[in-house]
């Protein structure tokens, strides 16, 4: 498991017009699941997940405004799965720091979800028990 914790961003997400014009502070943390045993043996970057490439993808997704942090987290998760074929799953935790809630002081509002690479469907079968005659 590779973890990248508390990447900091200034971005323009939110449903309030002020959030889209003024922006706010966000953090993103990731837990990346991949078979990296070969990298442990070879000490070669090509056998693991390149942190710099991961951060570039997260930065690109954070730069695209959205209403909901849930939507941004999903974009990050799916983009990482698309970019890294060896990645089995990715947990994304996206936090909006000091969200604007009238009459309340909130340190952070966070959304966490896990995105898993879909498995391939079983191969086509002519087995009569499968209902194909």
Which range has highest mean pLDDT (41-45, 88-92, 121-125)?
Answer: 88-92
Q: What tokens appear for 112 in the block?
A: 């966490």
Would you call 41 helix, strand, or coil by DSSP?
helix
Are the C-beta atoms of residues 33 and 5 closer than 8 Å to each other?
A: no
pLDDT band per the 50, 70, 90 thresholds, residue 124:
low
Predicted confidence at residue 128, as pLDDT, reads 56
pLDDT band per the 50, 70, 90 thresholds, residue 119:
confident
pLDDT band per the 50, 70, 90 thresholds, residue 121:
low
- What value, to the nearest 5°, has the Cα angle with vertex 19 and ends 18 and 22? 70
Checking if the pLDDT of 133 tops 50, the result is no
Checking if the pLDDT of 43 tops 90, the result is yes
Q: State the pTM of this model.
A: 0.85
Predicted confidence at residue 102, as pLDDT, reads 87
Which residue shows structure tokens 């002020």?
18
- What value, to the nearest 5°, has the Cα angle with vertex 74 and ends 31 and 72? 105
Predicted confidence at residue 132, as pLDDT, reads 46
Active site residues per annotation: 96
CA distance 100 to 108: 10
Nearest residue to 111 (alpha-carbon basis) of 79, 68, 75: 68
The per-residue pLDDT for range 77-102, each reduced to its tens digit, is 999 999 999 999 999 999 999 998 88
69 CB neighbour count, 10 Å cutoff: 21
């Amino acid at each position: 498991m590779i973890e990248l914790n508390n990447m900091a961003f200034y971005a323009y997400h939110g449903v309030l017009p002020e959030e889209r014009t003024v922006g706010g502070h966000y953090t993103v943390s990731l837990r990346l699941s991949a078979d990296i045993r070969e990298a442990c043996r070879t000490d070669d970057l090509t056998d693991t997940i390149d942190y710099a490439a991961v951060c570039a993808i997260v930065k690109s997704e954070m730069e695209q405004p959205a209403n909901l942090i849930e939507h941004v987290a999903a974009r990050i998760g799916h983009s990482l799965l698309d970019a890294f074929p060896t990645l089995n799953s990715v947990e994304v935790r996206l936090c909006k720091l000091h969200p604007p809630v009238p009459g309340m002081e909130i340190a952070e509002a966070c959304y966490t979800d896990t995105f898993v690479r879909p498995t391939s469907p079983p191969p086509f079968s002519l087995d009569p028990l499968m209902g194909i005659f």
